[in-house]
Structure 1
Amino acid sequence: MKRNEMMDRPVINNDVREYLRTAQKPLPGKLGEIQREANEKRVPVIPHETVVFLDWLFPHLQPKRVLEVGTAIGFSASLMAQRMPEEGHLTTIERNPVMIEKAKKTFTELGLEDKIALKEGQAQDVLQELDGPFDFIFMDSAKAKYYDFFPYCMKLLKTNGVLAVDDILQGGTILQPDEEIPRRRRKIHRKLNEFLDVVLTHPSLQSSILPLGDGLLLITKKEDADFSFMEPKIEE
Protein backbone atom coordinates (compact mmCIF):
# COMPACT_ATOMS: atom_id res chain seq x y z
CA MET A 1 0.00 0.00 0.00
CA LYS A 2 1.41 3.38 -1.03
CA ARG A 3 2.17 5.52 2.01
CA ASN A 4 0.77 9.03 2.16
CA GLU A 5 3.44 11.28 3.69
CA MET A 6 0.76 13.83 4.61
CA MET A 7 -0.39 11.46 7.40
CA ASP A 8 2.61 12.58 9.48
CA ARG A 9 2.54 16.31 8.75
CA PRO A 10 0.32 17.93 11.40
CA VAL A 11 -1.53 21.12 10.51
CA ILE A 12 -1.35 22.02 14.20
CA ASN A 13 1.32 21.70 16.90
CA ASN A 14 2.59 18.10 17.28
CA ASP A 15 1.89 18.05 21.02
CA VAL A 16 -1.67 19.26 20.50
CA ARG A 17 -2.24 16.64 17.79
CA GLU A 18 -1.03 13.86 20.07
CA TYR A 19 -3.22 15.18 22.87
CA LEU A 20 -6.27 15.09 20.60
CA ARG A 21 -5.46 11.52 19.61
CA THR A 22 -4.70 10.15 23.07
CA ALA A 23 -6.75 12.13 25.58
CA GLN A 24 -10.15 11.57 23.99
CA LYS A 25 -12.11 8.38 24.62
CA PRO A 26 -11.10 5.38 22.50
CA LEU A 27 -13.68 3.58 20.41
CA PRO A 28 -15.09 0.52 22.17
CA GLY A 29 -15.76 -2.94 20.77
CA LYS A 30 -14.88 -4.45 17.42
CA LEU A 31 -14.77 -1.10 15.61
CA GLY A 32 -12.16 0.09 18.11
CA GLU A 33 -10.11 -3.05 17.41
CA ILE A 34 -10.28 -2.36 13.66
CA GLN A 35 -9.14 1.22 14.26
CA ARG A 36 -6.20 0.19 16.44
CA GLU A 37 -5.08 -2.47 13.97
CA ALA A 38 -5.28 0.00 11.07
CA ASN A 39 -3.19 2.54 12.99
CA GLU A 40 -0.59 -0.06 13.94
CA LYS A 41 -0.27 -1.21 10.32
CA ARG A 42 -0.23 2.38 8.97
CA VAL A 43 -3.42 1.79 7.01
CA PRO A 44 -4.85 5.24 6.17
CA VAL A 45 -8.07 5.71 8.14
CA ILE A 46 -9.51 8.94 9.53
CA PRO A 47 -7.52 10.04 12.61
CA HIS A 48 -8.96 9.71 16.08
CA GLU A 49 -9.77 13.41 16.47
CA THR A 50 -11.99 13.18 13.37
CA VAL A 51 -13.52 9.96 14.69
CA VAL A 52 -14.44 11.68 17.94
CA PHE A 53 -15.91 14.64 16.06
CA LEU A 54 -18.13 12.43 13.85
CA ASP A 55 -19.10 10.43 16.92
CA TRP A 56 -20.30 13.71 18.49
CA LEU A 57 -21.84 15.16 15.31
CA PHE A 58 -24.06 12.30 14.13
CA PRO A 59 -26.41 12.17 17.13
CA HIS A 60 -27.06 15.89 16.55
CA LEU A 61 -27.64 15.63 12.79
CA GLN A 62 -29.52 12.30 12.91
CA PRO A 63 -28.91 11.67 9.17
CA LYS A 64 -31.03 8.89 7.70
CA ARG A 65 -29.37 8.82 4.26
CA VAL A 66 -25.59 9.11 4.11
CA LEU A 67 -23.23 8.93 1.12
CA GLU A 68 -19.49 8.32 1.35
CA VAL A 69 -17.07 8.85 -1.54
CA GLY A 70 -14.00 6.70 -0.85
CA THR A 71 -14.58 3.58 1.26
CA ALA A 72 -11.02 2.33 1.81
CA ILE A 73 -11.22 -0.49 4.40
CA GLY A 74 -14.73 0.54 5.46
CA PHE A 75 -13.79 2.04 8.82
CA SER A 76 -15.38 5.48 8.50
CA ALA A 77 -18.48 4.04 6.78
CA SER A 78 -18.90 1.63 9.69
CA LEU A 79 -18.46 4.41 12.25
CA MET A 80 -21.15 6.53 10.59
CA ALA A 81 -23.50 3.60 10.04
CA GLN A 82 -23.32 2.67 13.72
CA ARG A 83 -24.13 6.25 14.74
CA MET A 84 -27.09 6.68 12.36
CA PRO A 85 -30.72 6.18 13.39
CA GLU A 86 -31.90 2.58 13.32
CA GLU A 87 -33.74 3.11 10.02
CA GLY A 88 -30.77 4.90 8.44
CA HIS A 89 -28.84 3.64 5.42
CA LEU A 90 -25.38 4.45 4.08
CA THR A 91 -24.08 4.20 0.51
CA THR A 92 -20.32 4.15 -0.07
CA ILE A 93 -18.26 4.20 -3.29
CA GLU A 94 -14.88 2.51 -3.90
CA ARG A 95 -12.93 1.61 -7.05
CA ASN A 96 -9.90 -0.22 -5.62
CA PRO A 97 -10.51 -4.01 -5.70
CA VAL A 98 -8.21 -4.63 -2.71
CA MET A 99 -10.02 -2.04 -0.60
CA ILE A 100 -13.40 -3.36 -1.73
CA GLU A 101 -12.60 -6.80 -0.33
CA LYS A 102 -11.25 -5.33 2.92
CA ALA A 103 -14.37 -3.17 3.30
CA LYS A 104 -16.69 -6.12 2.72
CA LYS A 105 -14.85 -8.02 5.43
CA THR A 106 -15.19 -5.06 7.81
CA PHE A 107 -18.93 -4.73 7.18
CA THR A 108 -19.44 -8.47 7.71
CA GLU A 109 -17.45 -8.51 10.95
CA LEU A 110 -19.55 -5.65 12.30
CA GLY A 111 -22.88 -7.01 11.06
CA LEU A 112 -23.53 -3.96 8.88
CA GLU A 113 -24.18 -5.62 5.50
CA ASP A 114 -27.87 -4.60 5.55
CA LYS A 115 -27.16 -1.02 6.57
CA ILE A 116 -24.36 -0.26 4.08
CA ALA A 117 -24.48 -0.52 0.28
CA LEU A 118 -21.02 -0.69 -1.31
CA LYS A 119 -21.01 0.64 -4.88
CA GLU A 120 -18.01 -0.56 -6.90
CA GLY A 121 -16.59 1.64 -9.65
CA GLN A 122 -15.30 5.08 -10.52
CA ALA A 123 -16.87 7.67 -8.22
CA GLN A 124 -17.62 10.09 -11.05
CA ASP A 125 -19.69 7.44 -12.83
CA VAL A 126 -21.45 6.12 -9.72
CA LEU A 127 -22.33 9.61 -8.47
CA GLN A 128 -24.25 10.29 -11.68
CA GLU A 129 -26.25 7.07 -11.25
CA LEU A 130 -27.40 7.65 -7.65
CA ASP A 131 -30.71 9.11 -6.54
CA GLY A 132 -30.78 11.75 -3.82
CA PRO A 133 -31.36 13.47 -1.64
CA PHE A 134 -28.77 12.56 0.98
CA ASP A 135 -28.69 14.20 4.40
CA PHE A 136 -24.91 13.93 4.82
CA ILE A 137 -22.06 13.25 2.40
CA PHE A 138 -18.51 12.37 3.45
CA MET A 139 -15.86 12.80 0.76
CA ASP A 140 -12.50 11.16 1.43
CA SER A 141 -11.14 10.08 -1.94
CA ALA A 142 -8.57 11.28 -4.48
CA LYS A 143 -7.86 14.87 -3.43
CA ALA A 144 -7.32 16.06 -7.01
CA LYS A 145 -10.87 14.89 -7.78
CA TYR A 146 -12.70 16.86 -5.09
CA TYR A 147 -13.29 19.71 -7.54
CA ASP A 148 -14.71 17.33 -10.16
CA PHE A 149 -16.90 15.36 -7.75
CA PHE A 150 -18.32 18.41 -5.99
CA PRO A 151 -21.08 19.37 -8.50
CA TYR A 152 -22.46 15.82 -8.48
CA CYS A 153 -22.44 15.78 -4.67
CA MET A 154 -24.35 19.08 -4.59
CA LYS A 155 -27.05 17.62 -6.83
CA LEU A 156 -27.42 14.70 -4.43
CA LEU A 157 -27.29 16.69 -1.18
CA LYS A 158 -30.54 17.97 0.30
CA THR A 159 -31.02 21.65 1.10
CA ASN A 160 -29.45 22.31 4.52
CA GLY A 161 -27.61 19.00 4.20
CA VAL A 162 -23.91 18.75 5.09
CA LEU A 163 -20.96 17.77 2.92
CA ALA A 164 -17.80 16.93 4.90
CA VAL A 165 -14.54 16.88 2.93
CA ASP A 166 -11.48 15.30 4.53
CA ASP A 167 -7.75 16.07 4.09
CA ILE A 168 -8.22 19.56 2.74
CA LEU A 169 -5.06 21.25 4.07
CA GLN A 170 -2.40 18.92 2.65
CA GLY A 171 -0.21 18.73 5.72
CA GLY A 172 -0.33 22.51 6.11
CA THR A 173 1.12 23.09 2.63
CA ILE A 174 -2.11 24.29 1.02
CA LEU A 175 -1.06 27.98 1.09
CA GLN A 176 2.46 27.47 -0.23
CA PRO A 177 3.24 28.74 -3.73
CA ASP A 178 3.13 26.18 -6.52
CA GLU A 179 6.88 26.20 -7.07
CA GLU A 180 7.50 25.09 -3.46
CA ILE A 181 5.33 22.00 -3.87
CA PRO A 182 7.00 18.77 -5.08
CA ARG A 183 6.22 18.32 -8.78
CA ARG A 184 4.37 15.04 -8.17
CA ARG A 185 1.90 16.82 -5.85
CA ARG A 186 1.33 20.04 -7.78
CA LYS A 187 -1.85 18.86 -9.51
CA ILE A 188 -3.42 18.01 -6.14
CA HIS A 189 -2.24 21.35 -4.75
CA ARG A 190 -3.75 23.35 -7.64
CA LYS A 191 -7.04 21.45 -7.72
CA LEU A 192 -7.56 21.74 -3.96
CA ASN A 193 -6.93 25.48 -4.09
CA GLU A 194 -9.37 25.85 -7.00
CA PHE A 195 -11.91 23.84 -5.01
CA LEU A 196 -11.48 25.99 -1.89
CA ASP A 197 -11.73 29.18 -3.93
CA VAL A 198 -15.24 28.12 -4.98
CA VAL A 199 -16.71 26.61 -1.83
CA LEU A 200 -15.43 29.18 0.68
CA THR A 201 -16.92 32.13 -1.21
CA HIS A 202 -20.04 30.83 -2.98
CA PRO A 203 -23.21 32.61 -1.77
CA SER A 204 -25.32 29.42 -1.67
CA LEU A 205 -22.90 27.64 0.67
CA GLN A 206 -21.91 28.03 4.31
CA SER A 207 -18.47 26.56 4.97
CA SER A 208 -16.12 26.00 7.89
CA ILE A 209 -12.64 24.41 8.03
CA LEU A 210 -11.73 22.52 11.20
CA PRO A 211 -8.06 21.70 11.95
CA LEU A 212 -8.83 18.03 12.56
CA GLY A 213 -6.46 15.51 11.01
CA ASP A 214 -5.28 17.07 7.75
CA GLY A 215 -8.17 19.54 7.73
CA LEU A 216 -11.89 18.78 7.68
CA LEU A 217 -14.09 21.07 5.56
CA LEU A 218 -17.79 21.25 6.43
CA ILE A 219 -20.18 22.66 3.83
CA THR A 220 -23.90 23.30 4.29
CA LYS A 221 -25.95 23.69 1.12
CA LYS A 222 -28.23 26.63 1.90
CA GLU A 223 -29.97 26.60 -1.49
CA ASP A 224 -29.72 24.97 -4.90
CA ALA A 225 -27.12 26.41 -7.25
CA ASP A 226 -25.64 25.53 -10.62
CA PHE A 227 -22.14 24.10 -10.24
CA SER A 228 -22.00 22.55 -13.71
CA PHE A 229 -19.00 24.77 -14.53
CA MET A 230 -16.98 22.45 -12.27
CA GLU A 231 -17.95 19.26 -14.07
CA PRO A 232 -15.10 17.60 -16.00
CA LYS A 233 -15.03 18.55 -19.67
CA ILE A 234 -15.68 15.66 -22.06
CA GLU A 235 -12.82 15.36 -24.52
CA GLU A 236 -13.97 14.94 -28.12
Structure 2
Amino acid sequence: MIVEERMRIYINSLDPGNTEFLENLEKDALSSGVPIIRREMQSFIKVLLAVKKPKRILEVGTAVGFSTLLMCEYGLPDLEITTIENYEKRIPVAKENFLRAGRNGQITLLEGDAGQILKELEGKYDLIFMDAAKGQYIHWLEDVIRLLAPEGILLSDNVLQEGELIESHYLVERRNRTIYKRMREYLYTLKHDKRLMTSILPLGDGAALSIKMPLDPMTMDKEEI
Protein backbone atom coordinates (compact mmCIF):
# COMPACT_ATOMS: atom_id res chain seq x y z
CA MET A 1 0.00 0.00 0.00
CA ILE A 2 1.45 3.38 -1.02
CA VAL A 3 -1.03 5.76 0.64
CA GLU A 4 -2.54 4.93 4.05
CA GLU A 5 -5.84 3.14 3.43
CA ARG A 6 -7.99 5.43 5.60
CA MET A 7 -6.70 8.47 3.71
CA ARG A 8 -7.41 6.82 0.35
CA ILE A 9 -10.96 5.93 1.41
CA TYR A 10 -11.57 9.47 2.65
CA ILE A 11 -10.29 11.08 -0.56
CA ASN A 12 -12.37 8.75 -2.72
CA SER A 13 -15.45 9.42 -0.57
CA LEU A 14 -15.34 13.04 -1.78
CA ASP A 15 -15.51 12.03 -5.44
CA PRO A 16 -18.89 12.87 -7.04
CA GLY A 17 -18.57 9.89 -9.39
CA ASN A 18 -19.07 9.55 -13.13
CA THR A 19 -21.95 9.21 -15.56
CA GLU A 20 -24.46 6.43 -14.96
CA PHE A 21 -23.08 4.47 -17.91
CA LEU A 22 -19.51 4.62 -16.56
CA GLU A 23 -20.64 3.79 -13.02
CA ASN A 24 -22.41 0.66 -14.27
CA LEU A 25 -19.47 -0.28 -16.48
CA GLU A 26 -17.11 0.02 -13.53
CA LYS A 27 -19.32 -2.22 -11.36
CA ASP A 28 -19.58 -4.83 -14.11
CA ALA A 29 -15.83 -4.82 -14.68
CA LEU A 30 -14.96 -5.15 -11.00
CA SER A 31 -17.51 -7.91 -10.46
CA SER A 32 -15.95 -9.79 -13.40
CA GLY A 33 -12.43 -9.38 -12.04
CA VAL A 34 -11.34 -7.03 -14.83
CA PRO A 35 -8.76 -4.49 -13.61
CA ILE A 36 -9.68 -0.88 -14.35
CA ILE A 37 -8.16 2.41 -13.26
CA ARG A 38 -8.74 3.29 -9.63
CA ARG A 39 -11.00 6.11 -8.45
CA GLU A 40 -8.08 8.39 -7.63
CA MET A 41 -6.64 7.90 -11.11
CA GLN A 42 -10.03 8.56 -12.67
CA SER A 43 -10.18 11.90 -10.89
CA PHE A 44 -6.61 12.72 -11.88
CA ILE A 45 -7.28 11.97 -15.55
CA LYS A 46 -10.38 14.20 -15.56
CA VAL A 47 -8.34 17.14 -14.26
CA LEU A 48 -5.53 16.39 -16.70
CA LEU A 49 -7.99 16.39 -19.62
CA ALA A 50 -9.41 19.73 -18.49
CA VAL A 51 -5.94 21.29 -18.23
CA LYS A 52 -4.25 19.79 -21.29
CA LYS A 53 -7.30 19.55 -23.59
CA PRO A 54 -5.76 16.87 -25.81
CA LYS A 55 -7.27 16.26 -29.25
CA ARG A 56 -5.43 13.01 -29.99
CA ILE A 57 -4.87 10.35 -27.34
CA LEU A 58 -3.08 7.03 -27.57
CA GLU A 59 -3.94 4.43 -24.94
CA VAL A 60 -1.88 1.27 -24.46
CA GLY A 61 -4.14 -1.24 -22.73
CA THR A 62 -7.88 -1.10 -23.44
CA ALA A 63 -9.22 -3.96 -21.28
CA VAL A 64 -13.03 -3.50 -21.51
CA GLY A 65 -12.75 0.16 -22.53
CA PHE A 66 -13.53 1.86 -19.22
CA SER A 67 -10.65 4.34 -19.26
CA THR A 68 -11.13 4.91 -23.00
CA LEU A 69 -14.75 5.91 -22.44
CA LEU A 70 -13.88 7.99 -19.37
CA MET A 71 -11.50 10.05 -21.52
CA CYS A 72 -14.13 10.38 -24.24
CA GLU A 73 -16.72 11.55 -21.72
CA TYR A 74 -14.54 14.14 -20.00
CA GLY A 75 -12.34 15.21 -22.92
CA LEU A 76 -13.06 17.57 -25.80
CA PRO A 77 -16.11 16.79 -27.95
CA ASP A 78 -13.90 16.20 -31.00
CA LEU A 79 -11.37 14.06 -29.11
CA GLU A 80 -9.98 11.08 -31.02
CA ILE A 81 -8.58 8.05 -29.17
CA THR A 82 -6.51 5.21 -30.53
CA THR A 83 -6.38 2.30 -28.07
CA ILE A 84 -4.42 -0.96 -28.20
CA GLU A 85 -5.47 -4.33 -26.75
CA ASN A 86 -3.91 -7.77 -27.09
CA TYR A 87 -6.19 -9.92 -24.91
CA GLU A 88 -8.64 -11.53 -27.34
CA LYS A 89 -11.38 -12.21 -24.78
CA ARG A 90 -11.67 -8.53 -23.84
CA ILE A 91 -11.63 -7.05 -27.34
CA PRO A 92 -15.28 -7.89 -28.23
CA VAL A 93 -16.42 -6.63 -24.82
CA ALA A 94 -14.63 -3.33 -25.38
CA LYS A 95 -16.15 -2.99 -28.85
CA GLU A 96 -19.63 -3.61 -27.47
CA ASN A 97 -19.09 -1.03 -24.72
CA PHE A 98 -17.93 1.56 -27.26
CA LEU A 99 -21.02 0.91 -29.36
CA ARG A 100 -23.40 1.06 -26.37
CA ALA A 101 -21.85 4.34 -25.26
CA GLY A 102 -22.23 5.82 -28.75
CA ARG A 103 -18.50 6.57 -28.86
CA ASN A 104 -17.25 4.10 -31.48
CA GLY A 105 -16.90 6.96 -33.98
CA GLN A 106 -14.27 8.60 -31.76
CA ILE A 107 -12.33 5.43 -30.99
CA THR A 108 -9.95 3.35 -33.08
CA LEU A 109 -9.26 -0.02 -31.46
CA LEU A 110 -6.06 -1.70 -32.64
CA GLU A 111 -5.85 -5.41 -31.92
CA GLY A 112 -2.55 -7.16 -31.29
CA ASP A 113 0.84 -6.85 -29.65
CA ALA A 114 1.46 -3.30 -28.46
CA GLY A 115 5.20 -3.50 -29.09
CA GLN A 116 4.67 -4.24 -32.77
CA ILE A 117 1.77 -1.82 -33.22
CA LEU A 118 3.69 1.06 -31.61
CA LYS A 119 6.55 0.57 -34.08
CA GLU A 120 4.12 0.87 -37.00
CA LEU A 121 2.13 3.88 -35.78
CA GLU A 122 2.79 7.35 -37.21
CA GLY A 123 1.69 10.84 -36.28
CA LYS A 124 1.79 12.67 -32.98
CA TYR A 125 -0.36 12.33 -29.88
CA ASP A 126 -1.08 15.00 -27.26
CA LEU A 127 -1.52 12.41 -24.50
CA ILE A 128 -0.34 8.82 -24.23
CA PHE A 129 -1.78 6.68 -21.44
CA MET A 130 0.19 3.56 -20.55
CA ASP A 131 -1.84 0.95 -18.68
CA ALA A 132 -0.81 -2.48 -19.96
CA ALA A 133 1.91 -5.05 -19.24
CA LYS A 134 4.13 -3.23 -16.74
CA GLY A 135 7.22 -5.24 -17.58
CA GLN A 136 7.04 -3.98 -21.17
CA TYR A 137 6.92 -0.24 -20.46
CA ILE A 138 10.69 0.12 -20.76
CA HIS A 139 10.70 -1.71 -24.12
CA TRP A 140 7.96 0.52 -25.53
CA LEU A 141 9.39 3.82 -24.33
CA GLU A 142 11.38 4.85 -27.42
CA ASP A 143 8.38 4.46 -29.71
CA VAL A 144 6.14 6.19 -27.18
CA ILE A 145 8.48 9.20 -27.05
CA ARG A 146 8.62 9.24 -30.87
CA LEU A 147 4.82 9.33 -31.04
CA LEU A 148 4.44 12.00 -28.35
CA ALA A 149 3.97 15.56 -29.59
CA PRO A 150 6.29 18.27 -28.23
CA GLU A 151 4.87 19.30 -24.85
CA GLY A 152 2.69 16.20 -25.01
CA ILE A 153 2.03 14.19 -21.85
CA LEU A 154 2.87 10.58 -21.07
CA LEU A 155 0.87 9.16 -18.16
CA SER A 156 2.07 5.77 -16.91
CA ASP A 157 -0.17 3.93 -14.43
CA ASN A 158 0.63 1.29 -11.80
CA VAL A 159 4.35 2.01 -11.63
CA LEU A 160 5.06 1.40 -7.94
CA GLN A 161 3.80 -2.18 -7.59
CA GLU A 162 1.97 -1.56 -4.30
CA GLY A 163 5.18 -0.09 -2.89
CA GLU A 164 7.25 -3.18 -3.66
CA LEU A 165 9.74 -1.14 -5.72
CA ILE A 166 11.35 0.30 -2.61
CA GLU A 167 12.08 -3.16 -1.19
CA SER A 168 15.38 -4.96 -1.58
CA HIS A 169 15.64 -7.15 -4.68
CA TYR A 170 16.08 -10.14 -2.38
CA LEU A 171 12.77 -9.50 -0.59
CA VAL A 172 10.77 -9.54 -3.81
CA GLU A 173 9.17 -12.84 -4.79
CA ARG A 174 11.18 -14.53 -7.53
CA ARG A 175 8.24 -14.48 -9.97
CA ASN A 176 8.00 -10.68 -9.61
CA ARG A 177 11.69 -9.86 -9.93
CA THR A 178 11.71 -9.29 -13.69
CA ILE A 179 8.88 -6.74 -13.49
CA TYR A 180 10.54 -5.20 -10.41
CA LYS A 181 13.83 -4.75 -12.29
CA ARG A 182 12.24 -3.42 -15.47
CA MET A 183 9.96 -0.97 -13.68
CA ARG A 184 12.84 0.46 -11.65
CA GLU A 185 14.74 0.87 -14.93
CA TYR A 186 11.70 2.51 -16.51
CA LEU A 187 11.28 5.05 -13.73
CA TYR A 188 15.00 5.84 -13.68
CA THR A 189 14.92 6.39 -17.44
CA LEU A 190 11.87 8.66 -17.23
CA LYS A 191 13.59 10.82 -14.62
CA HIS A 192 16.93 11.03 -16.45
CA ASP A 193 15.94 11.23 -20.12
CA LYS A 194 16.55 14.83 -21.17
CA ARG A 195 13.66 14.67 -23.61
CA LEU A 196 11.23 14.36 -20.71
CA MET A 197 10.38 16.04 -17.44
CA THR A 198 8.78 13.55 -15.04
CA SER A 199 7.07 13.54 -11.68
CA ILE A 200 6.41 10.20 -9.94
CA LEU A 201 3.27 10.33 -7.81
CA PRO A 202 2.02 8.04 -5.01
CA LEU A 203 -1.40 8.01 -6.67
CA GLY A 204 -3.34 4.75 -6.72
CA ASP A 205 -0.67 2.15 -7.39
CA GLY A 206 1.75 4.86 -8.45
CA ALA A 207 1.71 7.07 -11.52
CA ALA A 208 4.43 8.74 -13.56
CA LEU A 209 3.51 12.00 -15.28
CA SER A 210 5.98 12.99 -18.00
CA ILE A 211 5.99 15.91 -20.41
CA LYS A 212 7.99 15.88 -23.62
CA MET A 213 10.23 18.91 -23.65
CA PRO A 214 9.67 21.37 -26.54
CA LEU A 215 12.11 21.12 -29.43
CA ASP A 216 15.04 23.53 -29.38
CA PRO A 217 15.57 24.92 -32.92
CA MET A 218 19.28 25.42 -32.17
CA THR A 219 19.81 21.69 -31.56
CA MET A 220 17.39 20.21 -34.11
CA ASP A 221 18.63 18.23 -37.09
CA LYS A 222 17.63 19.48 -40.54
CA GLU A 223 15.23 16.53 -40.88
CA GLU A 224 13.40 17.61 -37.72
CA ILE A 225 12.85 21.22 -38.86
TM-score surpassing 0.5? yes
How far off is 1:204 after superposition? 2.3
Q: Aligned residue for 1:183?
A: 174
**Does the 8 Å CA contact 1:31/1:110 hold for their aligned counterparts?**
no
Flag the 1:87–1:28 CA change in 2: closer, same or farther, 3 A.
closer
* 1-structure distance, mates of 2:215, 2:164: 32
Shift of 1:99: 1.2
Structure 1 residue 37, shift from structure 2 partner: 2.5
Counterpart code for 2:68:
A
Which amino acid counterpart does residue 50 of structure 1 have in structure 2? M
Q: Counterpart of 2:145 in structure 1: which amino acid?
A: M
Question: Percent identity, aligned pairs only?
Answer: 35
Secondary structure class of the residue paired with 1:200: helix
What secondary structure does 2:54 align onto? coil
Q: Distance in 2 between matches of 1:178 and 1:15?
A: 29
- What stretches of structure 1 of length at least 5 have no aligned partner? 1-9, 226-236
Task: Give the deviation of 1:224 after TM superposition.
Answer: 5.9
Aligned-partner SS, 2:99? helix
Q: Output the CA distance in 1 between the equivalents of 2:95 and 2:32.
A: 19
Distance 1:191 1:224 in 2: 28
Q: Which residue of 2 aligns with 1:18?
A: 9
Question: Unmatched 5+ residue regions in structure 2?
Answer: 217-225
- Alpha-carbon distance in structure 1 between the residues aligned to 2:200 and 2:187: 10
Q: Give the total of aligned pairs.
A: 216
Partner of 2:49: 58
Are 2:139 and 1:135 aligned?
A: no
Matching of residues 211-222 of structure 1 within 5 Å: 211-222=202-213
User: Alpha-carbon deviation of 1:68?
Assistant: 0.2
Instruction: Tell me the TM-score normalized by structure 1.
Output: 0.88
Q: How does 1:1-236 map to 2 (within 5 A)?
A: 10-223=1-214
Query: Which amino acid in 1 is paired with 2:95?
Result: K
| Alpha-carbon displacement from aligned partner over 1:61-99 (angstroms, at most 9, x marks no partner) | 110000000111100011112222222200000011011
1:3 alignment partner in structure 2: none
* In structure 2, C-alpha distance between the alignment counterparts of 1:25 and 1:116, rounded to whole Å: 26
State the secondary structure of the residue aligned to 2:96: helix
Deviation readout 1:165-185 (Å, 9 max, x if unpaired): 000000001111111110111
SS at match of 1:119: strand
Moved more, 81-90 or 71-80: 81-90
Distance 1:224 1:122 in 2: 30
Question: One-letter code of the match for 1:133?
Answer: K
Runs of 4+ in 1 over 4 A off after TM superposition: none
Per the alignment, in what secondary structure is the counterpart of residue 89 of structure 2? helix
SS at match of 1:220: strand
SS of aligned partner of 2:118: helix
Please give the alpha-carbon distance, in whole angstroms, between the structure 2 residues aligned to 1:197 and 1:57.
23
Is the contact made by 1:164 and 1:218 (CA closer than 8 Å) also made in structure 2? yes
Using the TM superposition, give the Cα deviation of residue 196 of structure 1 relative to its aligned residue in structure 2, in angstroms: 1.1
Aligned residue type for 2:109: L
Q: Distance in 2 between matches of 1:19 and 1:36?
A: 20
